[in-house]
Protein backbone atom coordinates (compact mmCIF):
# COMPACT_ATOMS: atom_id res chain seq x y z
CA UNK A 1 0.00 0.00 0.00
CA UNK A 2 1.54 3.31 -1.12
CA UNK A 3 -0.15 5.53 1.47
CA UNK A 4 1.09 8.96 2.45
CA UNK A 5 -0.57 10.40 5.54
CA UNK A 6 -0.49 14.17 6.06
CA UNK A 7 -0.97 15.13 9.71
CA UNK A 8 -2.27 18.69 9.85
CA UNK A 9 -0.71 20.87 12.56
CA UNK A 10 -2.63 23.91 13.76
CA UNK A 11 -1.05 23.98 17.22
CA UNK A 12 -3.72 22.09 19.20
CA UNK A 13 -2.98 18.45 18.55
CA UNK A 14 -0.71 15.63 19.64
CA UNK A 15 0.86 15.63 16.20
CA UNK A 16 4.11 14.00 17.32
CA UNK A 17 2.25 11.20 19.10
CA UNK A 18 0.07 10.59 16.06
CA UNK A 19 3.11 10.47 13.80
CA UNK A 20 4.85 8.08 16.18
CA UNK A 21 1.87 5.76 15.93
CA UNK A 22 2.02 5.69 12.13
CA UNK A 23 5.81 5.23 12.29
CA UNK A 24 5.37 2.24 14.61
CA UNK A 25 2.96 0.74 12.07
CA UNK A 26 5.48 1.24 9.28
CA UNK A 27 3.22 3.72 7.48
CA UNK A 28 4.58 6.81 5.77
CA UNK A 29 3.38 10.01 7.40
CA UNK A 30 4.50 13.62 7.64
CA UNK A 31 3.42 16.71 9.59
CA UNK A 32 2.61 19.60 7.28
CA UNK A 33 0.16 22.38 6.45
CA UNK A 34 1.76 23.06 3.08
CA UNK A 35 -0.50 22.88 0.03
CA UNK A 36 1.76 20.57 -2.06
CA UNK A 37 1.98 18.10 0.84
CA UNK A 38 -1.77 18.11 1.40
CA UNK A 39 -2.38 17.54 -2.31
CA UNK A 40 0.14 14.68 -2.64
CA UNK A 41 -1.10 12.93 0.50
CA UNK A 42 -3.41 9.93 0.20
CA UNK A 43 -4.95 10.51 3.65
CA UNK A 44 -5.37 13.52 5.96
CA UNK A 45 -5.46 13.56 9.77
CA UNK A 46 -6.73 16.42 11.94
CA UNK A 47 -5.71 15.78 15.58
CA UNK A 48 -6.94 17.90 18.44
CA UNK A 49 -6.50 18.66 22.12
CA UNK A 50 -8.12 21.55 23.96
CA UNK A 51 -11.09 23.85 23.53
CA UNK A 52 -13.39 24.13 20.52
CA UNK A 53 -13.21 27.91 20.08
CA UNK A 54 -9.42 28.13 20.41
CA UNK A 55 -8.96 25.21 18.05
CA UNK A 56 -11.23 26.73 15.42
CA UNK A 57 -9.40 30.06 15.62
CA UNK A 58 -6.08 28.31 15.03
CA UNK A 59 -7.53 26.18 12.22
CA UNK A 60 -8.89 29.25 10.46
CA UNK A 61 -5.54 31.05 10.70
CA UNK A 62 -3.12 28.19 10.01
CA UNK A 63 -4.74 25.70 7.64
CA UNK A 64 -5.50 26.15 3.91
CA UNK A 65 -9.15 25.20 4.32
CA UNK A 66 -10.02 25.76 0.66
CA UNK A 67 -7.40 23.21 -0.38
CA UNK A 68 -8.47 20.74 2.30
CA UNK A 69 -12.11 21.14 1.26
CA UNK A 70 -11.17 20.45 -2.36
CA UNK A 71 -9.28 17.31 -1.36
CA UNK A 72 -12.23 16.10 0.70
CA UNK A 73 -14.53 16.66 -2.27
CA UNK A 74 -12.22 14.42 -4.33
CA UNK A 75 -12.83 11.61 -1.83
CA UNK A 76 -9.59 11.81 0.15
CA UNK A 77 -10.13 10.25 3.61
CA UNK A 78 -9.93 12.67 6.55
CA UNK A 79 -9.67 11.46 10.15
CA UNK A 80 -10.58 13.86 12.96
CA UNK A 81 -9.31 12.97 16.43
CA UNK A 82 -10.92 14.33 19.65
CA UNK A 83 -11.28 18.10 19.12
CA UNK A 84 -10.25 17.44 15.52
CA UNK A 85 -13.46 15.41 15.33
CA UNK A 86 -15.55 18.00 17.16
CA UNK A 87 -14.69 20.81 14.75
CA UNK A 88 -16.37 18.79 11.97
CA UNK A 89 -19.62 20.01 13.59
CA UNK A 90 -21.69 22.96 12.45
CA UNK A 91 -21.27 24.70 15.79
CA UNK A 92 -19.87 24.31 19.29
CA UNK A 93 -21.16 25.67 22.58
CA UNK A 94 -18.52 26.81 25.06
CA UNK A 95 -20.06 29.68 27.06
CA UNK A 96 -21.38 30.88 23.70
CA UNK A 97 -21.97 29.48 20.21
CA UNK A 98 -18.97 29.25 17.89
CA UNK A 99 -19.05 28.08 14.26
CA UNK A 100 -17.29 24.86 13.31
CA UNK A 101 -16.17 23.58 9.91
CA UNK A 102 -19.76 22.44 9.20
CA UNK A 103 -18.62 19.22 7.55
CA UNK A 104 -21.53 17.50 9.35
CA UNK A 105 -24.40 20.01 8.95
CA UNK A 106 -26.80 20.20 11.88
CA UNK A 107 -24.39 18.71 14.42
CA UNK A 108 -23.39 20.52 17.61
CA UNK A 109 -20.75 20.21 20.32
CA UNK A 110 -22.02 20.49 23.90
CA UNK A 111 -20.65 19.85 27.39
CA UNK A 112 -20.89 16.53 29.20
CA UNK A 113 -23.57 16.51 31.91
CA UNK A 114 -22.95 18.07 35.32
CA UNK A 115 -23.61 14.69 36.94
CA UNK A 116 -20.23 13.25 35.90
CA UNK A 117 -16.62 14.31 36.65
CA UNK A 118 -15.01 16.32 33.87
CA UNK A 119 -12.97 15.84 31.87
CA UNK A 120 -13.82 12.26 30.93
CA UNK A 121 -10.31 10.81 31.19
CA UNK A 122 -9.13 7.24 30.77
CA UNK A 123 -10.09 3.96 29.19
CA UNK A 124 -13.72 3.37 28.28
CA UNK A 125 -15.53 0.93 26.05
CA UNK A 126 -17.37 1.61 22.82
CA UNK A 127 -20.67 0.16 21.68
CA UNK A 128 -20.68 -0.54 17.96
CA UNK A 129 -23.89 0.67 16.31
CA UNK A 130 -23.18 -0.39 12.75
CA UNK A 131 -20.53 -2.08 10.67
CA UNK A 132 -17.88 0.12 9.06
CA UNK A 133 -14.37 -0.56 7.70
CA UNK A 134 -12.86 1.82 10.29
CA UNK A 135 -13.71 -0.79 12.95
CA UNK A 136 -12.52 -3.88 11.09
CA UNK A 137 -11.14 -6.44 13.59
CA UNK A 138 -12.33 -4.29 16.50
CA UNK A 139 -14.93 -5.92 18.74
CA UNK A 140 -17.96 -4.44 20.44
CA UNK A 141 -16.94 -3.40 23.95
CA UNK A 142 -13.33 -2.59 23.00
CA UNK A 143 -11.64 0.01 25.18
CA UNK A 144 -10.11 3.25 23.89
CA UNK A 145 -8.49 6.17 25.70
CA UNK A 146 -10.63 9.31 26.11
CA UNK A 147 -9.81 12.86 27.26
CA UNK A 148 -12.65 15.35 26.76
CA UNK A 149 -15.32 17.47 28.44
CA UNK A 150 -17.48 18.08 25.35
CA UNK A 151 -19.06 15.79 22.77
CA UNK A 152 -20.74 15.93 19.39
CA UNK A 153 -24.51 15.62 19.30
CA UNK A 154 -27.23 15.62 16.62
CA UNK A 155 -25.36 13.10 14.47
CA UNK A 156 -27.64 11.31 12.04
CA UNK A 157 -28.12 7.64 12.93
CA UNK A 158 -26.86 6.66 9.49
CA UNK A 159 -23.50 8.28 10.33
CA UNK A 160 -23.16 6.92 13.88
CA UNK A 161 -20.71 4.02 13.95
CA UNK A 162 -20.04 3.58 17.69
CA UNK A 163 -21.04 5.25 20.93
CA UNK A 164 -19.74 5.50 24.49
CA UNK A 165 -21.74 5.95 27.70
CA UNK A 166 -20.45 8.43 30.29
CA UNK A 167 -23.48 9.88 32.00
CA UNK A 168 -24.84 10.34 28.50
CA UNK A 169 -24.45 8.21 25.39
CA UNK A 170 -22.32 10.15 22.93
CA UNK A 171 -20.79 9.41 19.50
CA UNK A 172 -17.37 7.77 19.85
CA UNK A 173 -17.00 7.11 16.12
CA UNK A 174 -18.92 8.60 13.21
CA UNK A 175 -18.43 8.47 9.48
CA UNK A 176 -19.90 10.38 6.57
CA UNK A 177 -18.54 9.31 3.21
CA UNK A 178 -14.75 9.86 3.45
CA UNK A 179 -14.96 11.78 6.76
CA UNK A 180 -14.17 9.77 9.90
CA UNK A 181 -14.37 11.21 13.42
CA UNK A 182 -13.26 9.56 16.67
CA UNK A 183 -13.77 11.15 20.09
CA UNK A 184 -11.02 9.04 21.69
CA UNK A 185 -7.28 9.16 21.04
CA UNK A 186 -6.16 6.19 18.92
CA UNK A 187 -2.53 7.33 19.36
CA UNK A 188 -2.94 6.70 23.12
CA UNK A 189 -5.02 3.53 22.79
CA UNK A 190 -2.20 1.04 22.26
CA UNK A 191 -3.07 -2.03 20.16
CA UNK A 192 -6.72 -1.07 19.68
CA UNK A 193 -5.73 2.38 18.44
CA UNK A 194 -3.17 0.86 16.09
CA UNK A 195 -5.90 -1.30 14.57
CA UNK A 196 -8.08 1.74 13.95
CA UNK A 197 -5.26 3.76 12.40
CA UNK A 198 -4.37 0.87 10.10
CA UNK A 199 -8.03 0.55 9.13
CA UNK A 200 -8.10 4.26 8.32
CA UNK A 201 -5.11 3.97 6.02
CA UNK A 202 -6.77 1.07 4.24
CA UNK A 203 -9.60 3.40 3.23
CA UNK A 204 -8.69 4.29 -0.33
CA UNK A 205 -9.68 7.61 -1.85
98 has catalytic annotation: no
Single out the catalytic residue among 6, 43, 148, 187.
187
Q: Which residues pair with 174 in a beta bridge?
A: 160, 181
Residue closest to 184 by CA, chosen among 127, 132, 130, 137: 127
Choosing from 6, 43, 82, 132, the catalytic residue is 82
Three-state SS at 127: strand
Write down the catalytic residue from 43, 120, 132, 185.
185
At 93, give phi and psi (nearest 5°).
-110, 115
Known active-site residue 164: no
Alpha helices in 4-155 (DSSP H): 15-24, 35-40, 52-62, 65-73, 83-86
DSSP 74-107: TT--EEEETHHHHTTEEEEESSSEEE---SEEEE
The whole-angstrom separation of Cα 36 and Cα 52 is 27
Q: In angstroms, rounded to a whole number, what is the distance separating the alpha carbons of residues 41 and 111?
A: 34
What angle is formed at CA 18 by the lines to CA 34 and CA 174, rounded to 5 degrees? 95
Catalytic residues: 82, 185, 187
Amino acid sequence: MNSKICILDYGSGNVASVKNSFDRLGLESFISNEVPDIVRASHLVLPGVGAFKASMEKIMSKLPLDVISAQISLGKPLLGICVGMQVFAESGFEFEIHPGLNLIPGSEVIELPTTVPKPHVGWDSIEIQRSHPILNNIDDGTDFYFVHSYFVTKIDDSNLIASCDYGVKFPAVFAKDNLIGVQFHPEKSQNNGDKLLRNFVELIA
